[in-house]
Amino acid sequence: MSDGLPKGWAKASVREIVEHMQPGFASGEKNVEGGVPHLRMNNIGIEGRLVLNLVRTVPEKLSKSHHDLRPGDVLVCTTNSSKLVGKCALFNLPGRYVFSNHLTRLRPNLDLVDSCFLLWSLWLHWQAGTFEDKCKHWVNQSTLPKEGLLETDVALAPINEQRRIVAKLEKLLGKVDVCQQRLAKIPIILKRFRQSVLAVACSGRLTADWREENPHASVRDTDPPEGAPETPESWRWNRLSEVAHVRGGVTKGRKLAGKKTIVLPYLRVANVQDGYLELSEIKKIEVLPGDETKYGLESGDVLFTEGGDRDKLGRGAVWHDEIPKCIHQNHIFRARLFMPQVTPEYISLVTKSEFSRHYFFDNASQTVNLASINLTTLSALPMPIPPFKEQNEIVQRLEALFKLADQTEARFVKAKARVDQLIQSLLAKAFRGELVPQDPNDEPASVLLERIKAERTKGETEGGGKKRLNVNRKGKGRQDRPIMSLRESETTEAIS
């Protein structure tokens, strides 16, 4: 081994192993009918693959031939947030595509380096933070300079070994893909499981066996609202305001200058998650002395959030005096039960049902991405109310089932982390020369590098010196730059 590299390997810069380097172009016109697909930052995935769920098209007149992509090109994201600069993907699509000015196209010299081998080498550099250190940083974005990318070193295996490594990687990474696809279904299954459990709980089916053993004499005295699930005759339907006092919280930013004030801890929307409280960061607020009584929380209060997307709208949890003298802000509603035969845990669970979610969403004020409910809407929420003992039975059964789901989710998170780490582990093994057997008959990479350099030098000498190519950069004039011998004639920015 030399310089820590496997036998027969060599270290080479990106400059030495690619034929062309071309930045893309910007376009103010997007989604042009009949235009050319224009790959952008979001089309470069974090796992070395193209992401094509949103591809915009740009005018034909802007799409010059030197921005065309062809299979085997490597696209590197050279402008993005600092953590995402350097993510890369292999272009392998049929048809014509071009690319944005936030991307740079590398066209490998295939006599020296396999396209996939170059891709995964650059991907490992990105994961290691190599490009972040080379970036120029601004407030919200970073850029990897051309020279920073060109000077990046690549561990270069003999070309035949590269091909064996790539073939092995494709096989193994294919299996990793299958695992990831199967794992990706688990959160969806768990979400459906929780929704199904809530549905059978709120319709009485979850405790049907319990009612047979514990018959109840009461008969429903209220009819279910339209669209509500069928419930047992021993259940009734109530609006939330019929079983609890519902109110909003303190408004932040009130003018209190010159008034006597106190400072209290208060809950924000971020503290009230779906079914639990996130209390790792509690803010404090300056309020009037009377606000402690007016907005103070008591054990058993059910908390609801005012706004969010469909899954977060109206999310809530039960308060159990976790923080003394705590109040809540106006984006959180508090329901304090006054009917002794209703438990707060049951109310919190039933408001997560699909019926309640539909009610919140259908009656919310909506913008493009968010929705919000007001005090009137929350107060009018219809709820199925079983007898007190059955409420407790439902809560116990639901909590046991949700605990199983939580345990499964925790195992999923660990499994996903291990599978995600497999990609980096396989690549690290490949670039240590440990993934496939080495063949002593392979031409060493260093010999191949020197031979191609010699051939290039000879060709340039016989051709009367280095060729030069004019490149128009963003309309600021044309610059002459020396280039390598090109495999084909095309207008492009090449490497000095």
Mean pLDDT value of segment 472-483: 34
Mean pLDDT of 28-33: 88
pLDDT score, position 477: 35
Q: What is the pLDDT of residues 263-272, one digit of tens each?
A: 999 999 889 8
pLDDT at 432 over 90: yes
Q: Please compute the mean of the pLDDT values over residues 130-137 and round it to a whole number.
A: 90
Domain 10-158+443-482 has CATH 3.50.50.60: no
Average pLDDT, the chain: 87
Q: In terms of CATH, what superfamily is 220-386?
A: DNA methylase specificity domains (3.90.220.20)
Among 318, 333, 335, residue whose Cα is nearest residue 276: 318
- Of 453, 493, 488, which Cα lies nearest the Cα of 10? 453
Summarize the confidence of residues 271-281 as an average pLDDT: 88
Comparing 110-114, 146-150, 355-359, which segment has the lowest mean pLDDT?
355-359
Q: Is the pLDDT of residue 38 over 60?
A: yes
**Sequence ranges of the domains in the chain:** 10-158+443-482, 171-216+396-434, 220-386
pLDDT in tens, 56-70: 999 999 999 999 999
Give 354's pLDDT tier (boundaries 50, 70, 90). Answer: confident
Per the rule left: phi > 0, alpha: psi between -120 and 50, beta: everything else, 3 is left
**Nearest-5° Cα angle at 94, 77 to 184:** 60
Question: What are the tens digits of pLDDT across the range 447-471?
Answer: 999 998 888 777 767 766 554 333 3
pLDDT tens for 16-25 read 999 999 999 9
Mean pLDDT value of segment 90-103:
96
Q: In 239-323, where does DSSP find H-type helix?
A: 291-295
pLDDT tens-digit map of 378-419: 999 999 999 999 999 999 999 999 999 999 999 999 999 999
| CA separation for the pair 320, 279 (Å, rounded) | 12
**Spatial contact of 283 and 268, defined as CB atoms under 8 Å apart:** yes
**Residue 247 is inside which H or E element, if any?**
strand 244-247
The contacts of residue 51 (CB under 8 Å, 6+ apart) are 42, 43, 44, 45
Long-range contacts of 40-45 (CB under 8 A, 24+ apart): 40/99, 40/100, 40/102, 40/103, 41/77, 41/79, 41/80, 41/84, 41/100, 41/102, 41/103, 43/89, 44/75, 44/77, 44/87, 44/88, 44/89, 44/103, 45/87, 45/89
Q: Whole-angstrom Cα distance, residue 103 to residue 30? A: 17
Q: What is the pTM of this model?
A: 0.73
